[in-house]
Structures are given as structure tokens and as C-alpha cells.
Amino acid sequence: MSKEIIKIQDLKREFTMGNETVHALRGISFTIKEGEFVTIMGSSGSGKSTMLNILGCLDQPTSGTYEIDGVSMKDLSRNQLATIRNEKIGFIFQSYNLLARTSAIENVELPLLYNSAVSNEERRERAIHALQMVGLGERLFHTPSQLSGGQQQRVAIARSLVNNPVMILADEATGNLDTRTSYEIMSLFQDLNSQGITITFVTHEPDIATFSNRTIVLKDGNIIQDYKNNNIQSAAAELAKLPQQDH
């Protein structure tokens, strides 16, 4: 049995808005094992974003337990959470969130800047390696404005890989991309997953789920579905089926 990366038990998150208490998550339990590719689905208001924030150690649950790679989130300080984010999680955002006017390689190096155990030489090497993994080995010194949306997201993916996280956490990572580029990115995720990298993908697009091996569906703060996908589509194959692009 493979290692449990994420272990969530009876997780609740409540927000107080004036006099009202909003129950964003109402007691959720699940585990994610090493090497899984999980999509967390749900319409808006389902608790998806709250789930994402907690999974990403940006927010803490009101009650229940959350362990990532064997470390309990309970009662950790802001700084300790930052360290966990730095060492264990790779973030990918819908809007890429690259630093403007900053080269691809410097963007990728960013997480390692906050890890004092990594030397300057090692940082550069790992950034180059990560960019090669996402197929941008030739564009190390291009700035975001010189890259297409898909390429920018690849830089963001390289940035999420550079600190060798236990899990990549993607938030609507294909939301800003056209179908062709989405498939390219999903194909890249599948490649990375086949190399053993655990991926959690939060989305509201159902077809993204067909590329993952497990889907968790949230509704009104509860899990209404959690199923293994026995018919995983290949994003590369889907990409091939699309009509040829005009040149």
C-alpha cells in the first residue's frame, strides 16, 4: 500500500459573516495516496475554494484534522505554515501568477529563494531541470510577456515542481486556456503523474475529471461523490483528435 500524502478527517470550516455562520465545509473525510491524480469538482459555493485553501495550507480548519505527509496542520503558526507550503506543496493558479518582467528561470527559482538550505548553484540547476521537464528548456530567459498563455502556465508548473513537493495543487489550471492548450497542459499533468507525482486538481469543468484517476465531488460543503475513474482518457490522444491548427 502506498503512502498517504493527505489525510483529512471530519474537516469543518466555518466563517462568521456578521451574525451569520457560513458552513463552508461540514465534516469532510478523505485520503489521497502517493501517485494519485485527484480532481476535486463542484459548482461555485460548494466549498471547493475553501477546500483548496486548506489543502494548500493557506487556511486552517475550524475543526477536524488535516495531515500532509504525516505533519498535522493543527495549531501551526503562520511561519510554520509558510515552511510547509514551501517544502511540501507546489501551487498552480488559474491566472499563472508569474512575476512580470522577470525571466522564466527567475520565476521558477522563486520558491527556492525562500529555502535557505538550497545554494545559488543548486537553485539554478533545479530551475533549469524543472523548465526542461515542462518542455521550456529553450526559453529560460524569456519574460512572461514573451510567452503564450500555455507557456506561461508551463512556467508556473515548473515553479510548482522545483521544490520537489509531495503534492501539486492546481486551482483551475486550465481555466484561462483554449481547448487545445488545455489538453496540452493536461497531457503534461498526466506525464508528470506517470512519473509518480501526486496531483490534486480543483476545477468545475467535468471533462478535466476524465483525465484523472479519481474524482471527489463537493456540494454544499459535503462530499457527494468520491469515485475511481476506470476509464482514464489520454489528454495526448484527445489533443491528436482535434482538428489541425491553421498555420
Partner 1 sequence: MRILNLLKIAYKAIVLNKVRTLLTMLGIIIGVASVIAMLAIGEGSKESIRSTISSMGSNMITIRPGTDDRGPARGSGGDVQTLTLKNYDVIKEKSTLLSYITPVVNGGGQVISGANNWPSTIYGVNPQYLDIKVVGLQSGSMFTDAEVKSASKVVVLGQTVVDNVFPDGQDPVGQMIRFDNIPFKVIGVLEEKGENTFGQDQDDVVIAPYTTVQKRILAIDYLNQIMASAVSEDDAPDAVIEVSDILRSEHKLMDNEDDDFSVRSMEELISTFSSTSEMLTVLLVAVASISLLIGGIGIMNIMYVSVKERTKEIGLRMAVGGKGSDILMQFLIEAVLISITGGIIGVILGLGATVFIEKFLHWPTSVAMYSIIISFAVCAVTGIFFGWYPARKASALDPITALRYE
Binding site for partner 1 (CB under 8 A): 53, 56, 58-59, 78-79, 82-83, 85-87, 91, 93, 97, 99, 101-102, 106, 110-111, 113-116, 159, 163
Q: Which of 42, 111 has the CB closer to partner 1?
A: 111
DSSP run (H or E) holding 207: helix 206-209
Q: Please report which helix (H) or strand (E) contains residue 17, including its range.
A: strand 4-17
Separation CA 58–CA 171 (nearest Å): 13
Nearest in space to 169 (alpha carbons), one of 70, 61, 59, 28: 59
Quote the crossing angle between the two packed helices 104-113 and 120-133, to the nearest 10°: 130
61 versus 111: smaller Cβ distance to partner 1: 111
Residue 99 or 242: which CB sits closer to partner 1? 99
CA angle centred on 114, ends 111 and 120, rounded to 5°: 85
Pairing of strands 199-202, 37-41: parallel
Residue 14 backbone dihedrals phi, psi, to 5 degrees: -120, 145
Residue number, 79 or 231, with CB nearest to partner 1: 79
Nearer to partner 1, 97 or 222 (CB): 97
- Closest distance to partner 1 from the beta carbon of 130 (Å): 13
The CB-of-102 to partner 1 minimum distance in angstroms stands at: 7
Q: How far apart are alpha carbons 112 and 4 in whole angstroms?
A: 25
- Comparing CA positions, the residue from 38, 33, 12, 72 lying closest to residue 229 is 38
Cα 156 to its chain centre, rounded Å, is 10
Instruction: Give the nearest distance from C-beta 59 to partner 1 in angstroms.
Output: 6
Nearer to partner 1, 49 or 234 (CB): 49
Phi and psi dihedrals of 33, rounded to 5? -95, 160
| Shortest CB 241 distance to partner 1, Å | 35
At closest approach, how far in Å is the CB of 99 from partner 1?
A: 6
Closest to partner 1 by CB, 89 or 136: 89
At closest approach, how far in Å is the CB of 103 from partner 1?
Answer: 10
- Please give the distance of CA 137 from its chain centroid, rounded to a whole number: 22
Least Cβ distance, residue 87 to partner 1 (angstroms)? 7
Angle in degrees, CA 234, 104, 135, rounded to 5: 30
